[in-house]
Amino acid sequence: MTDSPVQIVRTRRHGDSRGWFVETYNRDTASALGIIATFVQDNHSLSAAPFTLRGLHFQVPPRAQDKLVRCLRGRIFDVAVDIRRGSPTYGHWVGAELSAENGDQLFVPIGFAHGFLTLEPDCEVAYKCSDTYAPAQDGGIRWDDPAIGIDWPLPAGAIPELSAKDVVQPLLADFDSPFAYDGRPLRPLA
């Protein structure tokens, strides 16, 4: 069990002459890692252009979501930002490269904004959510908020492909967080 709220979940591939098999989710294994979430919705996205940025998104209570994110095709830089009021790591972020090749997943718990940047064309991303989509509880923070300072791996001078919604997300300073700190500060990813 880890004391970090955001964590990398490493999968183990079992290969033979046919290819490989991997268990991407097991409730007991997740529970041993401290992930106590009941997932009720799976999402799958395709981003055709490289350097497409989706985020930073979350849902507020009572429809907040834990997420377990993986990249099925290509490579992404996946990010979680602490938005729990009272947290000593409020506004801090962690990020990891997830790819079809490495099979790693990122667990993003309630109280964290989530986003990712595609690093190749035609990236497919899938993630499990602990609640269904609720438009009235949908929220976001600016991907380029200087107070957060995410070091997105963009080529010099590149501007990411963004949705109309993500262009106008508020800054963290303009966000009144409904998420409470649970006593577990954000830690660097192992």
Q: Are 106 and 138 in contact (CB under 8 A)?
A: no
Dihedral of the alpha carbons of 128, 134, 136, 137, in degrees to the nearest 10: -30
Is 133 noted as a catalytic residue in this protein? Answer: no
Residue bearing tokens 């992404």: 76
Q: Which of 14, 25, 114, 127 is catalytic?
A: 127
Q: Which of 14, 25, 44, 57 is catalytic?
A: 57
Distances in whole angstroms, Cα of residue 158 to Cα of each of 8, 12, 93: 28, 35, 21
Instruction: Please give the full DSSP string across 5-55, using - where no structure is assigned.
Output: SSEEE---EEEETTEEEE----HHHHHHTT------EEEEEEE-STTBEEE
Burial 132-152 (b: 16+ CB within 10 A, else e): eeeeebebbbbbbbeebebeb
The secondary element (H helix, E strand) that includes residue 166 is helix 164-167
Q: Are 123 and 75 in contact (CB under 8 A)?
A: yes
Q: Are 89 and 80 in contact (CB under 8 A)?
A: no
Is 127 noted as a catalytic residue in this protein? Answer: yes
Residues serving a catalytic function are 57, 127
